[in-house]
């Protein structure tokens, strides 16, 4: 695979993995490119640009590692399907947010408009399920369709809560479970299912916990930036009216933050609000929670179902999530 496009946690995993993993990841990448360009210029150009914009490919990597070195075609299809679902949700998310950039590049909606972006997202989602259908495994279709439902429910819950600074930590965590953790959980479970091995539920729990940690850290990064690393402006969540854990905790320490009117923030005001949240000291608290989640996730793999090689690859991915952001 093209290593220049691959982020550090993934290259670290590739460096220690045996040849089977990079080979299968390359095959996943090749199929993603083929799918993106298979639908004519109308949709193909934008779908291919979405794919080219990179991304961490954490989810397909988890599918393949959880499937193991003896897995074959089904695992590759499940990995492709999982990444396509992820890409579809990001394209749709950017439509809903009217987001100008993602991963440092113009979004599909910014380049091609709402109609085309909705179509590209629909295409990617449909192709995901076509991949699974080709494998013909009902449990895999069930797993990833319930993950897609969770993603949509998470997005709707986030819209429902927009600009509501009174939402509880539990509600925020519930939203994160639906919006982010569920697809990580499903990536791990579907990987194991595709190979028919034991330990699927332990792996699902591992995925859920690292997914939640990933979202917590993502929400910290929205406050800290810098935009050169995050690919988007600081305070984007606040400007979108998304109340995240840093703000929920900061409000307890500095109740005057409640006067910030999220619905009406411009870019400079959003940055100032980020500085005020950071000044309360809550970001370390959120980072610490995320680290705790990563450690707890790794402990789920202590049982007999896992080889040392599997444990160390999964631990690298889990640790890489935290290191990327520290
Ligand atoms: C990005 O997170 C958004 C999501 C993880 C979920 C978006 C879900 C939908 C748009 C529902 C559509 C569902 C399907 C199955 C097509 P974020 O907004 O926290 O992060 P960001 O900063 O990357 O935008
Ligand atoms: Mg978003």
CATH of 3-325, one of 3.30.70.2190, 3.40.50.1220, 1.10.600.10, 3.10.180.10: 1.10.600.10
What are all long-range contacts of 129-135, with beta carbons under 8 Å and residues at least 24 apart? Answer: 129/81, 131/35, 131/77, 131/78, 131/80, 131/81, 131/84, 132/77, 132/78, 132/81, 134/77, 135/73, 135/74, 135/77, 135/78, 135/194
Q: What is the pLDDT of residues 189-226, one digit of tens each?
A: 999 999 988 999 999 999 999 999 999 999 999 999 88
CB atoms within 10 A of CB 15: 10
Identify the residue whose C-alpha is closest to ligand 1 atom 23.
Answer: 90
Angle between helices 8-16 and 308-323 (to 10 degrees): 160
Phi-psi region of 13 (alpha: psi -120 to 50; beta: other; left: phi over 0): alpha
Q: Which whole number is the average pLDDT over 16-44?
A: 86
For residue 155, the model assigns a pLDDT of 95
* pTM of the full structure: 0.93
Q: What is the pLDDT of residues 128-162, one digit of tens each?
A: 999 999 987 899 999 999 999 999 999 999 999 99
For residue 311, the model assigns a pLDDT of 94
Percent pLDDT > 70 in the chain is: 95
Q: What is the pLDDT of residues 75-108, one digit of tens each?
A: 999 999 999 999 999 999 999 988 888 887 889 9
Of 250, 239, 240, nearest in space to 286 by CA: 250
For residue 229, the model assigns a pLDDT of 82
Identify the DSSP state of 7: -
Question: Would you say residue 15 has pLDDT above 90?
Answer: no
For residue 147, which ligand has an atom nearest its CA? 1
Of 77, 89, 32, nearest in space to 57 by CA: 32
Mutate which of 83, 84, 88, 93 to test ligand 1's pocket (most atoms within 8 Å of Cβ)? 93
Question: Would you say residue 237 has pLDDT above 80?
Answer: yes
> Which runs of E-coded beta strand occur in 13-159?
101-102, 105-106
Question: Which residues' Cβ are closer than 6 Å to ligand 1?
Answer: 85, 88-89, 92-93, 96, 121, 125, 148, 151-152, 154-155, 179-180
Question: Would you say residue 7 has pLDDT above 60?
Answer: no
CA angle 262, 147, 106 (to 5 degrees): 50
Contact between residue 185 and residue 211 where contact means Cβ atoms under 8 Å apart = yes
Q: Which whole number is the average pLDDT over 265-293?
A: 95
Report how far residue 324's alpha carbon sits from residue 326's, in angstroms, rounded to the nearest whole number.
Answer: 6
Q: Cα-flanking dihedrals φ and ψ of residue 102, to 5°?
A: -145, 140
For residue 324, the model assigns a pLDDT of 63
Question: Would you say residue 3 has pLDDT above 60?
Answer: no
Question: Would you say residue 283 has pLDDT above 80?
Answer: yes
Burial (CB count within 10 angstroms: exposed 0-12, middle 13-18, buried 19+), residue 72: exposed
């Amino acid at each position: 695979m093209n290593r220049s496009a691959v982020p550090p946690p993934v290259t670290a995993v590739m460096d220690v993995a045996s040849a089977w993993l990079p080979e299968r990841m390359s095959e996943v990448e090749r199929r993603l490119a083929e799918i993106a360009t298979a639908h004519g210029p109308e949709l193909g150009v934008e779908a291919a640009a979405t794919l080219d914009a990179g991304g961490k490919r954490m989810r397909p990597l988890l599918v393949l590692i959880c499937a193991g070195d003896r897995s074959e075609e089904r695992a590759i299809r499940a990995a492709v399907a999982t990444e396509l679902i992820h890409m579809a949700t990001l394209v749709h998310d950017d439509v809903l947010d009217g987001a100008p950039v993602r991963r440092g590049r113009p979004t599909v909606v910014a380049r091609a408009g709402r109609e085309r972006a909705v179509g590209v997202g629909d295409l990617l989602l449909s192709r995901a399920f076509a991949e699974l259908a080709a494998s013909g495994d009902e449990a895999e279709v069930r797993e990833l369709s319930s993950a897609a439902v969770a993603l949509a429910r998470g997005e709707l819950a986030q819209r429902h809560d927009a600009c509501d600074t009174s939402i509880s930590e539990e509600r925020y965590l519930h939203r994160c479970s639906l919006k982010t953790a569920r697809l990580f959980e499903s990536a791990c479970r579907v990987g194991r299912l595709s190979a028919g091995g034991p330990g699927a539920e332990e792996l699902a729990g591992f995925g859920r916990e690292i997914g939640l940690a990933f979202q917590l850290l993502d929400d910290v990064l929205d406050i800290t930036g810098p935009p050169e690393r995050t690919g988007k402006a600081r305070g984007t969540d606040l400007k979108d009216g998304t109340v995240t854990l840093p703000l929920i905790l900061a409000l307890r320490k500095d109740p005057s933050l409640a006067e910030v009117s999220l619905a009406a923030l411009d870019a400079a005001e959003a940055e100032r609000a980020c500085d005020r949240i950071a000044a309360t000291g809550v970001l370390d608290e959120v980072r610490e929670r995320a680290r705790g989640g990563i450690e707890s996730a790794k402990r789920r793999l202590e049982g007999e179902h896992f080889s040392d090689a599997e444990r160390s690859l999964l631990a690298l991915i889990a640790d890489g999530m935290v290191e990327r952001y520290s």
